[in-house]
Structure 1
Amino acid sequence: MTANRSAVYFALLLLLPAVAYILFIVAYPLVDTVILSFTNAALRPKVDWVGWANYQKIFANSRFTEIIIRTIVWTICSVGLKMIIGTCGAVLLNATIPGQAIFRILTMPPWVVPMAIGIYMWGWMYNGQFGMISGLLQNFGITDGPYAFLGYPTPAFWSTIVTDVWIGVPIVTIYLLAAIQSVPKDLYEAAWADGAGRFYRFRRITLPLILPAMLTMSLLSLIATFNSFDIIWILTQGGPSGSTTTMIIDTFQTGIRSSKYGEGAARAVMICIFVSIFCLVYFRAVRRLSQGAAQ
């Protein structure tokens, strides 16, 4: 009994750092944000309890509905492109070709380069007067003059997506490459002996076996993309005319720039709710896929 009790105490002692981290770094700020969202906290000495007033302002504002839709579209398009390009890149990097190691190294710069520097680089390329992209379009006769991609709503929206995909593809590619390399070679050899082509082997062997890794990577990428702030803020700061304002940008503008801490906290809580919904949908999809594979 004494030995068992000592083992339990030792196990609890080992868990203590993780529990302390969750309580003070995760739980406390989250609870404090929820409480703050029910107040009118701002740059004033007095803070009053306003109940659901901040949330009512959010849902009464038709602009916030547009922001939600824009955030969902931005996230789905970005994550979808990352997964498609990352999967194709992983398959190509897994192929036995001369200079394979060099090609693998060349996939890393977008992820290795500091994010701010990479984003500023894209900002210069999108520039209408000095940007490389605008210059190429003029040289090929596609545009008659300089074209500022970040100066118009639709091009600015898709420009931020392209930049986010460029930054996120390398980690997706390396992660899925590791998953592909873990697939037993015997399965490919047996399928090749039976006359199966490359596409058939990919569809029947590679894809089903790396599906758990793809789902995990898509969830991580979805959460990171949904909460992505640096890319949009450095490139457009939510403009022009709010065309690139997502939920996280709107939360920053309301809570920090406008010093409406209570309303900003309410928007932050909404972000947590949306991310939680995405996670629940993800886990249900994984469960259904697992059940289908088992049957």
Structure 2
Amino acid sequence: MTRRFDAFPYLLLLPAALLTLTIVAWPLFETFRLSFTDASLRSTEEYVGFANYVEIFEDDFWEVIQRTFVWMSLSVVFKMIMGVIGAVLLNAALPGRTLFRVLIMPPWIVPVAIGVFMWSWMYNGQFGMISGVAQKIGLLSGPFEFLAYKQSAFIATVVTDVWVGTPLVSLYLLAAMQSIPKEQYEAAWVDGASRFYRFRRITLPLLAPAIFTMGLLSAIWTFNSFDIIWILTEGGPRGATTTMIIDTYKTAISRFRFGEGSARAVMILICMTAFAAVNLALMARRGRKTGAGK
């Protein structure tokens, strides 16, 4: 008996498929196409082959790639550390725990532009809070413009990105932490295990899959983060905070070199695909080891 083909489920999926093709597949294809042209504000464009990609690596693009991964790595590592600490504190049986869970949300709820503008005021050397407090306690002898120097500007953008992203990481890990069976903690407590031992031997191993998943998502979001750096420094001073996404924007939008900008966008896609593939492979390997251990 042959089974009759039912097209109705595919018709239901058709609007979503068309939307995906419109807003994802077509722009992606167009980006690849433009990366092989000299497209600009001119009405005509010519095919230039791999010239845009060759020009990328003749510039200081390797420095931009290295800076991007350093910026992303620092930000994600500190988000994960602060997120784990925040999740542990929010999960503790303390008075006012619900209030603390609500108060951790503003950095994530407040529009990023408003929050970053607030940080730009705090970094200001003349009337910023950070410089003022540092002078009061004797760490600085005078006003210090954090966004005017290469190293301090780089650190400032990392700190701001960590502030924006930590609440989401904390709440995600808190949800994962609350799914850990309480019986395991009770058994360890009966055996006389300390808090740190329970955290190291129960919480962290069972929280590891959530940490890996959130770390990968956070890395992708941080890698493509534009607004924080652009509002604070616009990639300066002297390119100290220019990441791949900032460099692509400056090339394609500020200098109207759409072909070169598209080639840089393709490089971002390749880097993120490779990064995600490596992380997913590590997660799968860890999962196989965990399954074999059981």
TM-score by length of 1: 0.96
Q: Select which of 215, 237, 243 maps to 2:240.
A: 243
1:173 is aligned, of 147, 170, 175, to 170
TM superposition shift of 1:5: 2.3
Q: Which moved more, 1:18-27 or 1:156-165?
A: 18-27
Matched, 1:100 2:97: yes
Partner of 1:37: 35
Name the counterpart of 2:8.
10
In 1, Cα distance between the equivalents of 2:4 and 2:95? 58
1:244-259 aligned within 5 A:
244-259=241-256
Displacement of 1:2 in angstroms is: 8.4
Inter-CA distance 255–210: structure 2 relative to 1 (3 Å threshold): same
> What SS does the corresponding residue of 1:50 show, helix, strand or coil?
coil
Rounded to whole Å, the distance in 2 between the matches of 1:103 and 1:128 is 32
Offset of residue 22 of structure 1: 2.2
Partner of 2:145: 148
1:33-112 to structure 2, matched below 5 A, reads: 33-61=31-59, 63-112=60-109
Q: CA deviation at 1:14?
A: 2.8
The answer to whether 1:26 aligns with 2:24 is yes
Q: Match for 2:127: what amino acid? A: F
SS at match of 1:269: helix
Q: SS at the partner of 1:244? A: coil
Tell me which residue corresponds to 1:116.
113
Cα displacement string for residues 26-68 of structure 1 (whole angstroms, at most 9, x for unaligned residues) = 111101100000000001121000000000000111x111111
Alignment pair present for 1:137 and 2:134: yes
Runs of 4+ residues deviating >3 angstroms: 1-4
SS at match of 1:5: coil
Q: Secondary structure at the match of 1:259?
A: coil
Deviation at 1:212, TM superposition (A): 1.4
Whether 2:194 is the aligned partner of 1:228: answer no
1:275 partner SS: helix
Q: 1:142: Cα distance to partner?
A: 1.2
Give the Cα separation in 1 of the matches to 2:17 and 2:169.
30
What stretches of structure 1 of length at least 5 have no aligned partner? none
State how far apart, in whole Å, the 2-side matches of 1:231 and 1:55 are: 27
Matched residues, number: 292
Question: 2:5 is paired with a residue of what secondary structure?
Answer: helix
Give me the TM-score of the superposition, normalised by structure 2: 0.97
Q: Deviations over 1:104-144 (max 9, x none)?
A: 11110100111100000000000010100000111111111
For 1:213 and 1:22, locate their aligned partners in 2 and report how far apart those are by CA, in whole Å: 28
How far has the Cα of 1:203 moved from its partner? 1.7
Could you list the runs of 5+ residues in structure 2 that have no partner in the other structure? none
Residue by residue over 1:59-90, the C-alpha shift from the partner in whole angstroms, topping out at 9 and shown as x without a partner, is: 111x1111110000000000000001001110
Matched-pair identity in %: 59
Partner Cα distance (1:114, 1:4) in 2: 52
Aligned-partner residue type, residue 48 of structure 1: E
Q: What is the distance in 2 between the residues matched to 1:4 and 1:195?
A: 64
Residue 261 of structure 1 is matched in structure 2 by 258
Structure 1 Cα separation of the partners of residues 19 and 182 of structure 2: 42
CA–CA separation in structure 2 for the residues paired with 1:69 and 1:127 = 28
Cross-structure match for 2:199: 202
Give the superposition deviation at 1:13.
2.1
Amino acid in structure 1 at the alignment position of 2:5: R
